[in-house]
Amino acid sequence: MSGFFEHTPDSLREWCVNHGMPGFAAKQIFDWVYAKQVVDPALMSNLSANHRALLVEALPIDQGHLLADQCASDGTRKLLVGWKDSSTGLPVLHEGPSTETVLIPSDNRMTACVSSQIGCPVGCAFCASGLDGLEGNLSAGQIVEQVHRLSRLGLGRVTNVVFMGMGEPLANFAAVTNAITTLNASWGLGIGARKITVSTIGLPEAIRRLAEFPLPITLAISLHAPEDSLRRTLIPWAAHASIPEILDACREYFDATGREITFEYLLLRGVNDRPHHARMLADLASTVRCNINLIRYNEVPGLPFDRPADIDVRIFQETLRDRRINAHIRASRGRDIAAACGQLRRSHTQADQST
């Protein structure tokens, strides 16, 4: 059974007619869910009692089930959402497919960090998301539901979306781009295309496909190293595409869209945070219209990486800026909860297995 968030106005209108409801009911339902953020059909007062009962039975609004909700001292909220077991169709209450989604509030925005896959196939050496591999792709509706859930936490509507949660977004291309269409649409969540960022480890052919996508979203490349040999030790999938190949695709993306590329660079103490790494990174960045986000590592228990020293982060940034590279240090958020991507999911699963 597909859920509400999988639908467009046209497909929901067809669903309504096929289920004995008037076609205009689709617009009413969209208004309740997206404009009013009401997900309980019993509260949709301009629908008949029979039609409200039909929605409960045949068109679930939320497909997921909230497994955990953590709030950091800085206001960051991290949710763990369990999805139905594909083999049984039943909601997951404990172990099973689940993903993280995070709401990051700041002075003038509410940013949703969403997952695109259950687990991750990339297997980055420093990341908790891929420790158990890939369990499956999320649907477009499951991606949209994450953002909708965050919007109705009572902290304000989501203004920005970053695909920086679990999974490689461009390995789930159709679902991610369909979800972005809904997130941006006036009948959906109405989030500006320029406020939506897709972060990828760098899949050149998928980047070229994304360049043809009609919405001017931001492309972010998870670079994390300035040369291929080091990058391949950190990111196994980097063996499939060299940095020069990724940069070529990024130039094509900029030429097609006019959108500057963002390079994400995760600083790991003593691994990729030395001044010579910064100089090499500056040489790469000088060949592409880009900016660089420097990210201080959030430690993951059991993994052999440490958070960089503050002085080293500042020197790294200054080295880039001395070479006229636009580089920012991203503020660390949610440090007092399971801050690293995939960490809440993993800790929840391990707790279940120990009981």
Distance between CA atoms of residues 230 and 269, nearest Å: 14
Q: Do residues 129 and 120 lie in contact, with contact meaning Cβ atoms separated by under 8 Å?
A: yes
Q: What does the DSSP 8-state code read for residue 68?
A: E
> Residue with structure tokens 């997952």?
115
Question: 168 an active-site residue?
Answer: no
* Candidates 6, 100, 145, 168; catalytic one: 100
Output the CA–CA distances (angstroms, integers) from residue 330 to 225, 279, 293, 313, 315, in the order listed.
Answer: 17, 19, 6, 11, 15
Note the residue count of the chain: 355
Nearest CA among 68, 76, 131, 115 for reference residue 335: 76
Q: How many CB atoms lie within 10 A of CB 94?
A: 13
Dihedral sign for Cα atoms in the order 341, 345, 348, 351: negative
3-state helix, strand, coil in the chain (%, to 5): 40, 20, 45
Displacement of CA 27 from its chain's centroid (Å)? 28
- Which token pair is 189? 């969540």
Distance between CA atoms of residues 54 and 68, nearest Å: 29
Distance between CA atoms of residues 177 and 263, nearest Å: 21
Question: 57 an active-site residue?
Answer: no
- Which token pair is 23? 């076609």
Q: Is 110 left (phi over 0), alpha (psi -120 to 50) or beta?
A: beta
* Candidates 120, 124, 250, 341; catalytic one: 341
Residues with active-site annotation: 100, 341
